[in-house]
Structure 1
Amino acid sequence: MAVISNSFKEQLYRPIHSEDIGSEPPDTSRFIVPKSCQKSYLRLVAPWIASTFSLALITGYLLFQQRNSPAYLATSLPAFQTDIHDAHPYISYEERVFSGRLAFDEEIGKVYRDIDLSAPQYFGLPSPEIDDAWADLMRGEFVRMTDEEAAPYTPELNKAPHSDDYHFE
């Protein structure tokens, strides 16, 4: 426990302006914050206000730009802009619905897999049907190119090591 000297206690608990009691009112200038402190406070706060305002402006601008970009507005693009432009007319999209969701039966208290036998099965024990479904799903993943088709791109395009063919990427 800290020991406080008697002189400190007297200073600490002495009423403010006790010597002025009964005489003229105390000098209030000691209680007003000097203007130099107000200026230094403003100097400390001003950079934070400026940086917060700048950050808000930049964030608003970037969000506005993103929402007006073609990638944000388009529901589906024919291809990525980095793809080979000659292939754009031949690219199409296909939507697949996967069956086999996991469901919970509250009556028996167990999880089961809801299987739709009319749809292709992609999950389960290994079987030729599952392999065929995946082969059909992934068809054309690596489209082969002839040497003539690859000729304009050969400085940057390399042959795939596993098949020794050129592939569209």
Structure 2
Amino acid sequence: MPPRGPDFPSSFLDLDEMMVDFKFFWPNKREYSPVDVQDDHSPADEKLLDKTESFESPRRHEPRRGSAPIPWIVLTFIFAGLSGLLLFHDLRRGGRGSFDTGYHNDMILARPAIEVSQVKFTGGIKFHDNGTMYRDNGPGPAYVGRPTPEMDEAWEQLIGTRYLAFTEEQKASFSVRIDKGSADGLYRAGPDVFHSLHCVDKLRQTIDGYLYDMPEKVDERRNNVLHIEHCLDFLRQLVQCTSDLTPIPLVYSVGAGMEVPDFEQLHTCRSFDTIHRWAMKQNQDALNTLEE
């Protein structure tokens, strides 16, 4: 009885399938070259060879040699597209500018004065343990409360010159229309922060007139009423525009007997002091050119 052909374990067939799959990623991998059969074999060996041929698995269709793997091409295009989108997004953001380097609509000449830091706000509403409410003034000058000459002076120093002077050469840095002054030939524009502070001070004076029975601070003429309404609506838009996302937590107060807002939180701010110093110097330097 002729010898049986070898029984191939199933793992051999699995390995063969894996190698076929691997060829998909390495299309130029060289094929296995069969060894030449020697002539000095017996007739029994030929029968054995005939039996082993019956165990060969059917040949699978394989990609042609040298053809590029399609999945890698698709992935390449996908990653290239994503990279392009990210680059476009960064360019758009760069075109708008940023809070700490200056937005595209900020005064170009003022950008070197931008400094960013964290500031803890003051003036929170608090409660004594007996339930009495009070406002924490915080350090520094008082800007609200019963009016005093010192308070009015503090507001004057805070705002300073609202509309700064600029020379003919500096005018070119503005992207908005700015006209030459008829009085001295200089150009004038003011950082919006000074206008906003002016509006807050205008509202302060009017409210104080009613709260502290100071009729000299109350002006109910139509033009002044329109001015106050303008300030209120402008400040509304400003608050919405900045949309500060600093969290204001509710914290339990023994005096209030409930949770109350803790307003004294850290905010990320542009340094007003450095901007104010730049503004006053810019205005004075432009005025000095008139004497040259």
Q: Shorter-chain TM-score: which interval?
A: 0.3 to 0.5
Q: Which has the higher relative contact order, 1 or 2, with Cα contacts under 8 A spaced 6 or more apart?
A: 2
Q: TM-score, normalised on structure 2?
A: 0.26
Q: Which has the larger radius of gyration?
A: 2
